Amino acid sequence: MQKTAIHGLESIAESLSRYDLSNTTRNRLGEIYHSCELSQVNTFKLLEQYGITPLVNEQVNQMNIGDLSEYYDLILRDWAWDTTENPSTENQNALKRVISQIDALNIKPKKILVLGAGAGRLSWDIHSRVKPEISVALDSHPLMLSISDWLIRQQQPIALGEFKIFPQIGFQSGQVHTLTPPADPENLRERWFGLGGNIWHMPIQAGSFDMIITPWLVDVTGGDVRDLIGVVSNLLAPGGHWINTGPLLFTRHIPVQIKYNAPEVKEFLALSGFKLATENVQVSDHLVSPIEARGRTEQIWTFTACKSETPDASSVDGVIVPWLVMHHLPVPPSNYSTKDKHPLIGTILSLIDGKRSINDICAEIAGRIPEGITVKDAVVTLLGQVIAEESDNT
């Protein structure tokens, strides 16, 4: 990424040295160069502050640079576009959506975890408004984490540039923003913490939080929403609340089979022992820059689900047993049997102890599945056949 940024600046600098440019073109390129150079210098200085240095990685070198920098506008949206002089409604509306859910519950959460916290603005706004005992803002993006800690915990400003690839009539080509720390007269930042982590390998003990918030996350994890529900359920204390807010805008890399709609997600919640408390749908502006005429709107689904104090999965039409759909649920012990006598089948059935889930069983037998076969598909198919045979015999 650093090499690509340097190459981009060198290319613009070379163009600026040419003799066949008008002053108008030179001024446009100059604005872009200044914005890019400032962002590059300050970004890598910030990462160095946190001990993050770029390393050569061949896999990353094969990626499109857009894949690595697509979240840059989220930083600007959080901390640059919303100013006293030019207030933006995006951050205000995002906060209102979450606070309205909390107010409807009539509770005061003590420990809040925000998964996919990005550059930290929403997690901070919630923290400073609700004032819980602790807030943890988790994200996997090192620049996002560094920015949020620098502004919130360290209370230090940083200047970043912005430029638009497509010319906008009546708008400048580039602009320098000074991102300023949020006001914190009560020193609430001492109870706000940024945490780097992958949601599929969480560095957090089970049941640690009484509220989990997932802003714009369920459709961008790269995995199955059913597995995300399992992660949330594991981290949430019994009786705790999960607030989700964002679109169902799954990436193009996700198979259509797991691009679930809202009714499907609500069925998964019910099967996992969650009770839907409230929900609403709004259409809202998204990533509307003050130096761009273009913009977009998104449909945002916000809901609150309460985790049952005791395991209590609801029935869903067409689902024989909840654990066969929700793979984090324990498989209850029974006298499972099948006509197929393959030794691997016996191994899988022997692992059923009332505690292990399909996910747990998959982890234990992963090395025994022939190459080319997906472990979970094999286990689900086998157990599905077992349940189907039992149903046929009753």
Averaged pLDDT for residues 203-225 = 95
Q: How confident is the model at residue 4 (pLDDT cuts 50, 70, 90)?
A: low
Quick one: which H or E segment has residue 270? Answer: helix 262-271
What is the per-residue pLDDT for 69?
57
Q: How many angstroms separate the CA atoms of 247 and 250, rounded?
A: 8
CA distance 131 to 99: 12
For residue 3, what pLDDT is reported? 61
Please check whether residue 352 lies inside any domain of the structure: yes
Q: How many domains are there within the chain?
A: 3
The residue-averaged pLDDT of 308-328 equals: 87
* Same-domain check for residues 231 and 297: yes
CATH number assigned to the domain comprising residue 101: 3.40.50.150
Q: Within this chain, do residues 285 and 142 fall inside the same structural domain, yes or no?
A: yes
The tokens describing 45, both together, are 């200085």
- Percent of the chain at pLDDT above 90? 62
Amino acid at 365: I
Residues 240, 96, single domain; the answer is: yes
Q: 347 lies in which domain range?
A: 330-392
pLDDT at 238: 95
Highest mean pLDDT, choosing among 17-26, 74-83, 180-189:
180-189
Q: Do 293 and 152 share a structural domain?
A: yes
- Is the domain of 270 the same as that of 387? no
Higher pLDDT, residue 6 or 317: 317
DSSP codes of every residue in 12-50:
HHHHHT-SS--HHHHHHHHHHHHHHHHHHHHHHHHHHHT
Confidence of residue 65 (pLDDT cuts 50, 70, 90): very low
Is residue 336 pLDDT above 90, yes or no? Answer: no
Q: How far is CA 107 from the centre of its chain?
A: 25
Let me know whether 128 and 261 are in one domain: yes
Per-position DSSP letters for 110-140, written without gaps between them: SEEEEET-TTSHHHHHHHHHH--SEEEEEES
Span 90-124, pLDDT tens digits: 999 999 999 999 999 999 999 999 999 999 999 99
pLDDT band with cut points at 50, 70 and 90 for residue 309:
confident
Lowest-confidence segment of 57-66, 150-159, 164-173 by average pLDDT? 57-66
Q: Are residues 278 and 212 in the same domain?
A: yes
Are both 223 and 298 inside the same structural domain? yes
Residue 293 has pLDDT above 90, yes or no: no
Sign of the C-alpha dihedral computed for residues 303, 307, 308 and 309 taken in this order? negative
pLDDT score of 64 more than 70: no
pLDDT-derived band at 63, boundaries 50, 70, 90: very low
Residue 174 lies in a domain: no
Closest C-alpha among 156, 87, 159, 71 to residue 119: 71
